[in-house]
């Protein structure tokens, strides 16, 4: 639905305020070479995000006061690109669009970002290192927030692509922030290169969309022009080899899927996310909760009208999400590094959101994106506090029994785990439950009941690895090394208060969008508040069933999956804590195979890296370079010239006058013959 727009000069300040802070710190850090005090750094960074959040709240309140058909604020800063003449003039402005979708995203980015920045003020002070560079850290963090805001606020394809690229750059800088460690540089490079694959998909999709609209007489890059002109090209097809054809929306949808898989770490482009945990914990929280990984979901929702016309691409999105949700959940279940466990958890939860998108439940996808942002930020900041108390320890096998010492940290992490597992009445119960319902009724997706089964099993595994992490950190026998005992306690209140806020949001965020099933129980006519609010910016998509018996059955299935995951974690890590090691000793090959199988990073190595290295070594290096280039072209040419000189030319230079006169005579005859022709 194309909506009326309202001009505004307020929206530009949402991304420009954090960007100004990043440029200020970057200029004085790299050009002037002047260092600021910790207080000034924290003030500049936190105030930049706080001011952006405040402006976002003002714009959001203005949006709420409008009628739904006109809930769009457009802030055109200046005409950036202009080509053509007269009626053929084409322009692309540096313009920002604040509607329901971008407004929700901005609140999440700036709100969660503000809490992460407040946490960073204490966390980074306790992590002083030679390669730390606090001024550089806050510059990168502000750049990251500004880039994400450019992405979600862009009113046209050009600004969206600018933000998309800047987010990838900022994430690579933060992942490799601690450059003193060898692995961090390669992790940042991996993230950057993998996302270049996705960037190619996004660029190709945007160019196809623009080209097809321009060819149909609707040239433009703004979302208003694209959405209004899309019905013209919705029925177009492209010819493929072999007499086949593919609908244009399907092809563009697959291009955007490639882009989203890279940014949101879905199979087969997930291999960068686990390694991204080598960066500082606040940076990891920002990447996993509200910025980088949510970019792919935003792309889907912004082009929801396109995916509504591309059932094949939508079904592929759903199945990729289901497979990733299950595989990443299984991978998280065998991790001992707590941050890598949460990285695989992020992949899995984003897989759930992909399922919602593929089933057409875009409002449900945004609902789970919001609740997951709170939960994942809470979990990452919580394990960061635990790690800080244990002198940067991240190995679950070196923890245990910490509940009595880290009392408040245990409370907030318990709330985070309950939210992640989907325990009622926390927010995760409502958002994940709606995804399960969406998968169950998605008749447009092939084999949708199998899709539902995969997601349901992934939900049970989510409960298992969530409680496994909680039990291994806080319960049972202490496995903390003797050198740490008696030297740790709960962090200061300055580090804890952002986690308290996130814990509160994790508990209450479920009221944002409970399905009508729950609304009917409390006599609320329209309880899908978030979906209704977003209806003007995204397609309404799928309608969930009204049959109460079906709903109760699905709730029962998900509850059983939750209880089974909890029971298995309790039995293996509390009731019989020696069982996991006993199983490993009894079946070492099986255990190693299990870990290797669920190490998702190895899959691309086996499928791509090793065949490519083998081809490069045996064919390119051995065959082409050594034998063809060196052997034939270089050495062969040299031997040929030497043989010619030694066998022929040497005999011509014999020092005999009659030989030279003979060649002069022959040359003269050749010249005369050519002149007489």
Given pLDDT bands bounded at 50, 70 and 90, which one contains residue 4? low
Cα distance between residue 13 and residue 291, in whole Å: 18
pLDDT at 183: 81
| Predicted confidence (pLDDT) per residue in 439-467, tens digit | 998 888 999 999 999 999 999 999 999 99
Looking at the structure of the chain, the number of domains it has is 2
Q: What SS3 state is found at 361? A: coil
Instruction: Judge if 524 and 395 occupy the same domain.
Output: yes
Shared domain for 367 and 453, answered yes or no, is yes
Q: Is residue 104 part of a domain?
A: no
Is the pLDDT confidence value at 664 over 90?
no
Q: Residue 507 domain-assigned?
A: yes
pLDDT above 90 (res 272): no
**Opening angle at CA 78, ends 77 and 81, nearest 5:** 135
C-alpha separations of 199 from 195, 204, 222, 268, 353 in Å: 6, 8, 19, 15, 21
Query: Does residue 264 lie in a domain region?
Result: no
> Quick one: CA torsion of 432, 437, 438, 442, rounded to 10 degrees?
150
Tens of pLDDT, residue by residue over 16-31, are 999 999 999 988 877 7
Residues 38-62 have a mean pLDDT of 93
Among the listed ranges 249-258, 343-352, 470-479, 629-638, which one has the minimum average pLDDT value? 629-638
Residue 78 lies in a domain: no
Residues 392 and 441 in one domain: yes
For residues 341 and 468, state if they share a domain: yes
Last residue of one domain, picked from the residues 549, 584, 619: 584
* Shared-domain flag, residues 629 and 569: no
Q: Say whether both 570 and 617 belong to one domain.
A: no
Residue 185 C-beta-side C-alpha neighbours within 13 Å: 5
Q: 399 and 544: one domain?
A: yes
Residue finishing a domain among 584, 614, 648: 584
Q: Residue 642 sits in which domain range? A: 602-676
Same domain for 613 and 522? no
More confident residue, 498 or 666: 498
pLDDT at 238: 83
Q: Do 533 and 672 reside in the same domain of the chain? A: no
Percentage of the chain beyond pLDDT 70 is 90
634 and 553 in one domain?
Answer: no
- Say how far apart CA 196 and CA 201 lie, in whole Å: 9
**Inside any domain, residue 430:** yes
Residue 511's CB is within 10 A of a number of other CB atoms, namely 14
Domain assignment of residue 651, yes or no: yes
Q: Are residues 448 and 360 in the same domain?
A: yes
Residue 542, pLDDT > 60, answer: no
Residue 80 to residue 91: CA distance in whole angstroms: 7
Q: State whether 342 and 483 are in the same domain.
A: yes
Digit-coded pLDDT (tens) for 364-397: 999 999 999 999 999 999 999 998 888 888 889 8
Domain end position, chosen among 584, 612, 645: 584
Mean pLDDT of the chain: 86
Report if residue 480 sits inside a domain: yes
Rounded Cα gap, residues 606 and 93, in angstroms: 45
Vertex 145: Cα angle to 498 and 469 (nearest 5): 45
**Residue 23 lies inside a defined structural domain of this protein:** no
Residue of 166, 159, 20 lying closest to 78 (CA atoms): 159
């Amino acid at each position: 639905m194309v909506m009326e727009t309202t001009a505004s000069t307020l929206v530009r300040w949402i991304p420009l305020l954090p960007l100004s802070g990043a440029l200020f710190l970057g200029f004085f850090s790299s050009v002037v070479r002047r260092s600021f005090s910790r207080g000034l750094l924290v003030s500049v960074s936190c105030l930049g995000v706080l001011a952006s959040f405040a402006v976002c709240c003002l714009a959001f309140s203005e949006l709420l006061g409008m009628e739904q058909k006109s809930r769009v604020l457009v802030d055109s800063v200046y005409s950036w690109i202009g080509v053509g003449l007269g009626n053929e003039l084409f322009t692309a402005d540096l313009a920002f669009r604040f509607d329901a979708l971008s407004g929700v995203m901005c609140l999440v980015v700036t709100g969660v970002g503000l809490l992460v920045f407040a946490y960073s003020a204490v966390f980074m002070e306790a992590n002083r290192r030679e390669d730390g560079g606090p001024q550089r850290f806050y510059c990168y963090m502000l750049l990251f927030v500004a880039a994400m805001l450019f992405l979600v606020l862009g009113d046209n394809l050009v600004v969206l692509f600018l933000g998309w690229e800047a987010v990838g750059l900022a994430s690579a800088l933060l992942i490799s922030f601690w450059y003193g460690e060898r692995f961090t540089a390669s992790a940042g490079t991996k993230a950057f290169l993998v996302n270049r694959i996705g960037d190619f998909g996004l660029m190709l999709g945007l160019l196809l969309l623009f080209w097809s609209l321009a060819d149909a007489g609707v040239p433009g890059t703004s979302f208003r022009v694209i959405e209004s002109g899309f019905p013209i090209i919705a029925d177009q097809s492209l010819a493929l080899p072999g007499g086949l054809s593919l609908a244009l929306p399907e092809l563009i949808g697959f291009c955007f899927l490639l882009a989203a898989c890279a940014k949101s770490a879905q199979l087969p482009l997930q291999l960068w996310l686990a390694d991204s945990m080598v960066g500082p914990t606040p940076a990891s929280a920002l990447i996993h909760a509200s910025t980088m990984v949510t970019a792919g979901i935003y792309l889907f929702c912004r082009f929801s009208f396109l995916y509504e016309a591309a059932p094949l691409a939508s079904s592929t999105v759903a199945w990729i999400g289901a497979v990733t949700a299950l595989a990443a959940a299984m991978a998280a279940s065998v991790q001992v590094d707590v941050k890598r466990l949460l990285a695989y958890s992020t992949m899995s939860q984003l897989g759930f959101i992909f399922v919602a998108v593929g089933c057409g439940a875009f409002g449900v996808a945004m609902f789970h994106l919001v609740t997951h942002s709170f939960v994942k930020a809470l979990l990452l900041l919580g394990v960061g506090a635990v790690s800080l108390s244990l002198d940067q320890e991240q190995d679950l096998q070196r923890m245990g029994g910490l509940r009595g010492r880290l009392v408040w940290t245990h409370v907030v992490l318990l709330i985070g785990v309950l939210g992640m597992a989907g325990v009622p009445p926390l927010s995760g119960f409502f958002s994940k439950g709606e995804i399960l319902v969406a998968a169950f009724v998605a008749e447009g997706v092939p084999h949708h009941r199998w899709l539902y089964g995969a997601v349901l099993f992934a939900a049970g595994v989510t409960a298992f690895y969530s409680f496994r992490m909680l039990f291994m950190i806080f319960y049972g026998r202490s496995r903390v090394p003797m050198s740490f005992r008696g030297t740790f306690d709960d962090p200061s209140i300055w580090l804890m208060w952002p986690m308290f806020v996130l814990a509160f949001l994790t508990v209450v965020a479920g009221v944002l969008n409970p399905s009508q099933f729950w609304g009917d129980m409390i006599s609320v006519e329209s309880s899908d508040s978030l979906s209704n609010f977003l209806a003007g910016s995204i397609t309404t998509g799928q309608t969930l069933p009204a049959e109460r018996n079906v709903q109760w059955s699905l709730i029962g299935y998900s509850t059983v999956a939750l209880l089974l995951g909890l029971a298995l974690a309790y039995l293996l890590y509390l009731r019989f804590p020696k069982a996991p090691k006993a199983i490993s000793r009894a079946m070492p090959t099986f255990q190693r195979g299990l870990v290797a199988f669920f190490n998702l990073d190895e899959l691309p190595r086996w499928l791509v890296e090793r065949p490519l290295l083998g081809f490069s070594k045996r064919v390119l290096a051995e065959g082409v370079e050594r034998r063809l280039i060196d052997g034939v072209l270089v050495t062969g040419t040299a031997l040929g010239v030497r043989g010619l000189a030694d066998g022929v030319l040497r005999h011509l230079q014999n020092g005999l006058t009659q030989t030279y006169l003979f060649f002069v005579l022959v040359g003269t005859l050749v010249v005369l013959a050519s002149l007489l022709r």
